[in-house]
Amino acid sequence: MILVVVGLPGSGKSTVAELLKEREFTVIEIGDIWRELLKKANIPRNDPRATREFTKTLREEQGKDIYAKYVVKKINKSMNKIVVMGVRSTYELNYLKKHLKGIVIIAIQSSFDTRYNRLATRGKPEDPKNLADFRWLNTREKRGFMSDKSEEKHGPVVIMSHANYTLKNTKTVDYLERQLDNVLKSIEK
């Protein structure tokens, strides 16, 4: 079973990842791959211009699906329940679908205000420091972090609209967990 979890910043992907770890899923986070690559390149995570330029260059040199290539390299045959967190473009999703069988897409939805409030208190270095930064991040995320507005047709919102399942992360973690368990039961049938 391979789940691909997609959502906009602050939607609750990390919470879903933790819940899936409790259910013995191997979690592969594209954000972790990104952070590893930034560290190797000595680029600080809290410098949005440098991180944006790094990612842009990486995609230009190695393809728009580069992060998915790293995901596939991390998967081995002993893993039977896998979740890939943070797919941000149809380029990445298409690469995963080409190289992995049985992918199920789960979208996580939360309102703009809820997502902003979560990120304002989360504390990761790359999190936006104010509402203007969050608006910028939200716009960039809709494009899968690609610079051109036309890339929105390849971004996470498009993937979310074609998801097999959608979780509404609008209430408590218990509410989210119940939805997730129902989705997992449905997939197993």
Q: Give the pLDDT confidence score for residue 45 in this predicted structure.
A: 84
**Domains of the chain with bracketed CATH:** 2-188 (3.40.50.300)
- CA 4 → CA 1, 49, 102, 155, 164, distances in Å? 10, 28, 10, 14, 10
Instruction: Encode pLDDT of 47-68 as tens digits.
Output: 877 888 898 899 899 999 999 9
Q: What is the model's pTM?
A: 0.86
What separation, in Å, do the N-terminal and C-terminal C-alpha atoms of the chain show? 12
Question: What are the residues whose beta carbons fall under 8 Å from the beta carbon of 96, sequence distance 6 or more?
Answer: 2, 4, 68, 71, 72, 84, 87, 103
Query: Would you say residue 139 has pLDDT above 80?
Result: no
CA distance 90 to 103: 14
In this prediction, residues 96-105 reach a mean pLDDT of 94
